[in-house]
């Protein structure tokens, strides 16, 4: 893995973040926004970060469960380190950099990239389904067609991929055709391994459990947004909490559709718009809430990723064989 290239991509993402946040500050009237942030009860931040850790932890358990399902010889400690480093990959367009996880798993376990990569894909799809279901709590309460369209488009794409993968005769025909086509035939065996792993993980008995896990993890993150909104004056209550969970997940779906690094721009603008429309926040308060929750989610995750990379940089170094727990990479 080219860490220099990763560093360049990260710096470009930080630059984009600065542009987005300057725009958000201007949109929210920086004087009023500054005053709101100064008065914000920062005692709400630790529990919000705690709920972010719940989200990360539950998703880590699902990731490791998937690896065990495909019989990857990897310990939970190795799995957790890899997952921690992957938080840096949130800052790649569409989070496609998260497929580096499969590269790192190959380094430490010897499991083929083509077998492990579907774990990342399936994890993203099942998380997406869970977020869309949670977003559905508030879809009927908004009149912004673009929000509904983004959620519907994401749902149709994910559902279409899952259905296509489960139509095994069609997949077998396509794979057989790939063996006969120039250029593609050299990758046909890897494509077959990728398909078999995807087909196995997306079977209904695993799909249901995965989406249920996703509902738990992303609901906890939405509750974190609710705590932030309480700090900016929204009324406490079950209805407000459900609306907050819906708004957060709807915004995350929009960010995924926009496919910028970390969903920058799409998530923040959606959070601010939905906070004003669904929860009657003022423009400065909505912008301030978006800034705080993104610090407690995106940038908290990036910080974890940086720490993990500093502690275990060898995981991004190509290995010729599997590593055992605690073994250091050889130069």
Tens of pLDDT, residue by residue over 191-246, are: 788 888 888 898 998 999 999 999 999 999 999 999 999 999 999 999 899 889 99
Output the pLDDT for position 141: 54
Measure Cα distances from 37 to 25, 139, 253, 287 in Å: 11, 29, 26, 10
CB neighbour list of residue 299: distance below 8 Å, 6 or more residues apart: none
- Angle of CA points 177, 179, 182, to nearest 5°: 95
Query: CA–CA separation, 132 vs 148, rounded Å?
Result: 10
pLDDT band at 116 (very low <50, low <70, confident <90, very high): very high
pLDDT band at 2 (very low <50, low <70, confident <90, very high): low
Output the pLDDT for position 1: 54
301-305 mean pLDDT: 95
101-111 mean pLDDT: 92
Output the pLDDT for position 95: 67
Output the pLDDT for position 90: 84
Higher pLDDT among residues 138 and 49, named by residue: 49
Q: Are 193 and 72 in contact (CB under 8 A)?
A: no
> Which of 28-32, 43-47, 49-53 is predicted least confidently?
28-32
pLDDT over 90 at 61, yes or no: yes
Length of the chain, please?
Answer: 331
Cα dihedral value 245, 247, 253, 259, nearest 10: -120
User: Which contiguous run of DSSP H or E holds residue 167?
Assistant: none
Output the pLDDT for position 283: 94
Q: Quick one: three-class SS letters along 72-97?
A: CCCCHHHHHHHHHHHHHHHHCECCHH
Output the pLDDT for position 144: 57
Residue 261: alpha-carbon gap to chain centroid: 11
Q: What is the DSSP string of 191-229?
A: HHHHHHHHHHHTSHHHHHHHHHHHHHHHHHHHHHHHHHH
Output the pLDDT for position 322: 47
Domain spans, the chain? 3-316
Which among 214, 251, 241, 207 is positioned nearest to 55, based on CA atoms?
214
Output the pLDDT for position 320: 46
């Amino acid at each position: 893995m080219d860490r220099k290239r990763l560093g360049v991509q990260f710096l470009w993402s930080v630059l984009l973040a600065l542009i987005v946040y300057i725009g958000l500050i201007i949109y929210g009237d920086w004087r009023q926004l500054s005053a709101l942030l100064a008065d914000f009860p920062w005692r709400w931040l630790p529990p919000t970060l705690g709920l972010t850790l719940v989200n990360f932890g539950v998703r880590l358990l699902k990731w490791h469960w998937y690896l065990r399902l495909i019989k990857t010889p990897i310990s939970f400690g190795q799995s957790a380190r890899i997952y921690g480093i992957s938080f840096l990959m949130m800052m790649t367009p569409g989070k496609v950099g998260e497929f580096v996880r499969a590269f790192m798993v190959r380094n430490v376990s010897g499991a083929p990239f083509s077998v492990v990569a579907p774990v990342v894909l399936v994890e993203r799809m099942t998380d997406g389904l869970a977020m869309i279901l949670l977003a559905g709590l508030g879809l009927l309460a908004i009149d912004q067609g673009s929000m509904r369209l983004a959620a519907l488009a994401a749902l149709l794409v994910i559902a279409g991929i899952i259905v296509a993968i489960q139509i095994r005769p069609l997949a077998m025909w396509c794979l057989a055709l790939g063996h006969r086509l120039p250029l593609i035939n050299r990758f046909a065996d890897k494509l077959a391994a990728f398909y078999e792993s995807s087909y196995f993980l997306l079977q209904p008995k695993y799909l249901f459990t995965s989406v249920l896990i996703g509902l738990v993890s992303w609901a906890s993150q939405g509750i974190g947004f609710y705590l932030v909104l309480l700090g900016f004056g929204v009324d406490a209550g079950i209805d407000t909490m459900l609306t907050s969970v819906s708004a957060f997940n709807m915004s995350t779906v929009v960010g995924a559709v926009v496919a910028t690094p970390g969903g920058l721009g799409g998530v923040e603008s959606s959070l601010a718009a939905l906070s004003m429309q669904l929860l009657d926040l003022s423009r400065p308060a909505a912008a301030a809430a978006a800034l705080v929750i993104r610090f407690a989610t995106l940038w908290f995750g990036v910080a974890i990723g940086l720490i993990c990379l500093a502690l275990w940089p060898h995981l991004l170094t190509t290995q010729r064989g599997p590593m055992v727990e605690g073994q250091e990479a050889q130069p």
